[in-house]
A and B are shown apart, each in its own frame.
Chain A
């Protein structure tokens, strides 16, 4: 079974502080991991895909297969980063459905 865990429902930081949103997954095969962001219950927007290894809006995430984690990091948080962040897993070679974590609501305070 595939499972994604985001242990923090809420995360609050000050502007300019580093931020890390945690994501752990459970899957016996080779997963593909994503981060999506949702502003004010609008459309989910793709933020990062682990195989692309790129940085979007200053965010990065590294897949750690040993720890089964895909934490999202940004060195200096901005107020506009306040949103819901969802980690998602897709099993390679099978159904292309996404399994989402429950999400973390990030608030960046001025």
Chain B
């Protein structure tokens, strides 16, 4: 158990819909990262938050947004979903300068 909790484990929805993925970091970790894992693109960094503020942005679509709340949990919002958004979405957390620890992921399936 890495200590990073992601909910839900699975999500099945339709094109055009909106979903929210939730992540609770390890106790004490201020940084939260989101990654997308798909068969064709592999593991891609989406976005990082540090203590409530956006720290770095990767290949995140404009239809996607994220935030980190005062209790340090984070949410990734995906809207106007397309078939190509089907993927595993991982959250990771870390202390500054320390390795990232990953959650179990949310498997998103778009029908």
Contact = CB atoms under 8 A, between A and B. Distances in A.
Contacts of A95: 48, 55-56
B45 A43 contact: no
Given A34-B99, A95-B55, A97-B33, A86 B105 contact: no
A45 interface: yes
B45 to A, nearest CB: 4
Contact of B105 (A43, A99, A103): A43
Interface in B50-98: 55-56, 58, 88, 90, 92, 94, 96-97
Contact of A46 (B42, B44, B101): B101
Contact of B99 (A41, A42, A46, A102): A46
A85 interface: no
Given A43-B103, A44-B102, A103-B42, A97 B58 contact: yes
A105 interface: no
Contacts of B56: 95-97
Main secondary structure of the interface of B (DSSP, over half): strand
A96 B43 contact: no
Interface of B: 2, 31, 33, 35, 42-45, 48, 55-56, 58, 88, 90, 92, 94, 96-97, 99-105
Given A49-B99, A98-B43, 20 more contacts: A34-B99, A42-B104, A43-B2, A43-B90, A43-B104, A43-B105, A44-B102, A45-B2, A95-B55, A95-B56, A96-B96, A96-B100, A97-B33, A97-B56, A98-B45, A98-B92, A98-B100, A99-B45, A100-B42, A102-B42
